Amino acid sequence: MSLETVVFYIFGGLMVVSSLAIVVSRSIVRSAVWLLGTLVSAGVLYFLLSANFLGAIQLIVYAGGILILIVFGVMLTAKSPYVRFNARPREIAITALVGVILFAGLSGLMLATDWPAIPDAAPEREVRPVADIGRSLLTQYLIPFELVSVLLLAVMIGAAYLASPEKK
């Protein structure tokens, strides 16, 4: 087995375990920490696919920025960072049933589908410079790029509004 295969299995397993731990954890802060494990694992898998730009963006934007935003949002809006989720057994059973049905349906669909071979689907060995990606973000994809920035600004304003104390 090659080193890449071992790293893939380690971080793929870490991603599965931390994803399940997000769902099972009753503490919001612990869920955020498990989310960090999931996001970092996804970043490492991007690096293994030779998608260095996506891996770096995954680590910087999601693991760095979004996770910190979530943690600060939880700590600013919650009464206590130790708030726990207390789901009733009926809710847990319904959620588990829906999850099992979706998993079985998607697994059956994936196994039953005859996936056609895509010609020239191998990754290109030509490395595209980050300057080209930035240039296309600010020319060809300028409107979606700006819409995302406006959306993130609206989310930050909403979080600040929710975190502000109520005036009596």
Q: Are 22 and 15 in contact (CB under 8 A)?
A: no
Give the pLDDT mean for 36-49.
Answer: 92
Query: How much of the chain exceeds pLDDT 70, in percent?
Result: 83
Q: What local confidence, expressed as pLDDT, does residue 145 receive?
A: 84
Mean pLDDT, rounded, of the chain? 82
Burial 17-41 (b: 16+ CB within 10 A, else e): ebbebbeebeebbebbebbbbbbbb
Residue 106 in any domain: the answer is: no
Residue 99 in any domain: the answer is: no
- Cα angle 129, 134, 136 (rounded to 5 degrees) comes to 100
Q: What local confidence, expressed as pLDDT, does residue 24 receive?
A: 85
Q: Is the pLDDT of residue 81 over 60?
A: no
Contact residues for 3 (Cβ-Cβ < 8 A; gap 6+): none
Give the pLDDT mean for 98-124.
Answer: 85
- Domain edge (last residue) among 61, 86, 111: 86
What is the rounded distance in angstroms from the CA atom of residue 147 to the CA atom of residue 31?
Answer: 29
- Domain edge (last residue) among 52, 86, 120: 86
Q: Is the pLDDT of residue 103 over 90?
A: yes
Q: What local confidence, expressed as pLDDT, does residue 134 receive?
A: 82
Q: At 44, which helix (H) or strand (E)?
A: helix 28-48
Q: DSSP 3-state assignment of 84? A: strand
Instruction: Verify that 55 and 1 share a domain, yes or no.
Output: yes
- Domain edge (last residue) among 86, 119, 148: 86
Q: What local confidence, expressed as pLDDT, does residue 83 receive?
A: 58
What is the number of structural domains in the chain?
A: 2
> Residue 12 is part of which domain span?
1-86
